[in-house]
Amino acid sequence: MNIRRQWLLGLLFSLSCGDVHAEGADTISSWFEDFEGTLYLGIGKGYHNTLVPGLDQEHDINQGWLFVVTGDLHWGNFFIETPIHRSGAYVYSATIGYRFYQQQEHSWDLISSNYNIWIPENKTSTASPQLDGLTIRNGDSVHAVRYQYQYQQHALGVEAGLDVLTHRGAIGRVSYSYLLPWRNLDFYLNAALTFEAAKVVNYYYGVHPDEVRPDRPLYRPGAGLKSHLGVTAIYPLAENWQLDGSVGLNLFSSSYLDSPLVTRSHEQVAIVMVRYVF
Amino acid sequence: MSFNQQQCFWLLLTASLALQSFFVGAGDAVAVVLKITPDTCVSLQQGRTCYSKVTARWHSNQPLDLCLAIEDQVLQCWKQQQQGQHQFEFAGASTSMVRLLRDQQLLAQAYIEVNWVHKASRAKRHWRLF
Q: Which of A166, A73, A59 is nearest to A120 (CA)?
A: A59
Give the closest of A70, A74, A236 to B117, CB-based.
Answer: A236
Note the Cα A233 to chain centre separation in Å.
18
Q: What percent of chain A has pLDDT over 90?
A: 55
Cβ within 8 Å of A, B 19-78: 41-44, 48, 50-52
Beta bridge partner(s), residue A49:
A268
Residue ranges of alpha helices (H) inside B1-130 are 5-28
Distance CA A36, CA A79 (A): 9
Q: What residues contact residue A216 under an 8 Å CB cut-off, 6+ apart?
A: A130, A207, A260, A261
Distance CA A188, CA A150 (A): 13
Interface with B, mutate which of A8, A11, A35, A38 (most B CBs under 10 A): A38
Distance CA A90, CA A87 (A): 8
Other CB atoms within 10 Å distance of the CB of residue A7 = 16
B92 half-sphere exposure, CB direction, 13 A CA radius: 21
**Quick check: bond before B38 cis, omega within 30?**
yes
- Taking only the tens place, the pLDDT of each residue in A196-222 is 999 999 999 999 999 999 989 999 999
Distance CA A275, CA A165 (A): 32
Say yes or no for a CB contact (<8 Å) between B130 and A240.
no
Distances (CA, A) of A173 to A167, A170, A204, B56, B62: 17, 10, 18, 52, 70
Complex ipTM: 0.76
Say yes or no for a CB contact (<8 Å) between B116 and A236.
yes
Residue A58 one-letter amino acid: E
Note the Cα A268 to chain centre separation in Å.
15
- Taking only the tens place, the pLDDT of each residue in B74-91 is 999 999 999 999 999 999
Q: What residues contact residue A14 under an 8 Å CB cut-off, 6+ apart?
A: none
Do the beta carbons of residue A221 and residue A64 sit within 8 Å? no
Nearest CA in chain B to A84: B130
What is the residue-averaged pLDDT of chain B?
82
Give the closest of A83, A186, A237 to B130, CB-based.
Answer: A83
Beta bridge partner(s), residue A43:
A67, A274
Residue A113 one-letter amino acid: S
**Strand, helix or coil at A9?**
helix
pLDDT tens series, chain B, 130 aa: 455 665 655 555 455 444 444 443 444 588 999 999 999 999 999 999 999 999 999 999 999 999 999 988 999 999 999 999 999 999 999 999 999 999 889 999 999 999 999 988 755 554 555 5
